[in-house]
A and B are shown apart, each in its own frame.
Chain A
Amino acid sequence: MTEMEPREDALQSEMDRLLRRSMAAPIPSLPPEFDQRWMNEVRRRSQPSNRYRRNLLTGYGLASVVASAVVMRGQGINWGTTAVMILAPLALAAAIPWAWRIVQKAPRQSVNQI
């Protein structure tokens, strides 16, 4: 074992020297326009789908509101109740992501503080 260790050490330092010599070469770096390139790509990828999704959701939302109002009025429900029954779920739907984000953030911040 005592003979093996110096041999292993010699082998390691021999290869270390060889690799240092052999692998020495200029280190590449990212081109300066990299930031601009990925930002353009982010815009290119996100814009059409976002716009499409937003239009789809808006259309669906409006159609639902109109259909609900027509049906509820047809059932003889007055305008006040109809408005509350349509707007309350919408307000709830808008509040859920906001509340969810706050709940998600709370434990993460405490972990980071540790």
Chain B
Amino acid sequence: MTLVESDAQLVSRAQDGESQAFAELVGRHKARVFRLAVSILGREFIPEAEDVAQEVFLKVHHAIASFRGEAEFGSWIYRITFNQAVNLKARVRFRSPHADETVLYHAVSTEPGPERQAETAERDRVLAECIQTLPEVYQSALRLYYWMGAGVVEVAELLGIPENTAKSYLSRARKLLHGMLKERGYSCD
């Protein structure tokens, strides 16, 4: 039976200069770091999310010696990811995306009939626009929960907030979106 080392043990070994331990930490957290970055940047900026993930691990590698273990390693690394992705988002906001988010929504539409499909695609486009006007944490929580299938616990963990706050963010985001869609004359059923 092999014992799985905790993050704290791996961090300690990585601080002693064991590159294998650091590689193990990267292996453990890379998928979640990437998911968090994508949830902030949106699906139009997947290559940028990869860059964010890489930059986060480079920063962590550089700073691991100064990590004191006062917070969980995961919380620390997700906080770095969040800040890195939000900073990048501010820079790429005015750049044309690699793929339009609404095209991706449309690609998975399963509604029957071309008219209904067009209506659904249009509403999805408007919904995507509305989502982009929400505060960053709401957007991220929505994408993690509805797109990437993360549970409330994981959303809370990745955003570094209590579980009830994550629930409340999702609820408030739904309410705000409902109002925005109604305002623009779209039904939500």
Residues of B within 8 A of A (CB): 6, 8-9, 12, 15-16, 23, 26-27, 30-31, 34-35, 38, 43, 46, 49-50, 53-54, 57-58, 61, 68-69, 104-105, 107-108, 123-124, 127-128, 142-143, 146-149, 171, 174-175, 177-178, 188-189
Contact = CB atoms under 8 A, between A and B. Distances in A.
5 contacts: A25-B147, A27-B35, A34-B50, A41-B54, A108-B12
A15 B174 contact: yes
B105 A105 contact: no
A111 B38 CA distance: 33
Contacts of A105: 12
A5 interface: no
A14 interface: yes
Nearest to B128: A22
A84 interface: no
Contacts of A75: none
Given A11-B178, A19-B127, A104-B68, 12 more contacts: A12-B174, A14-B178, A15-B178, A18-B189, A23-B146, A25-B147, A27-B149, A30-B31, A30-B34, A34-B53, A38-B57, A112-B8
Given A30-B31, A31-B50, A18 B127 contact: yes
Contact of B43 (A20, A22, A28): A28
Interface residues of A, number: 35
Contacts, number: 98
Contacts of A45: 58
Contacts of B188: 11, 14-15, 18
Contacts of B108: 24-26
A38 B54 contact: yes
A22 B149 contact: no
Nearest to A28: B46
Nearest to A20: B146
Contacts of A35: 23, 26-27, 30
Nearest to B69: A108
5 shortest A-B CB distances, which residue pairs? A15-B174, A23-B146, A108-B69, A112-B8, A19-B146
A108 B8 contact: yes
Contacts of A38: 26, 54, 57-58
A39 to B, nearest CB: 8
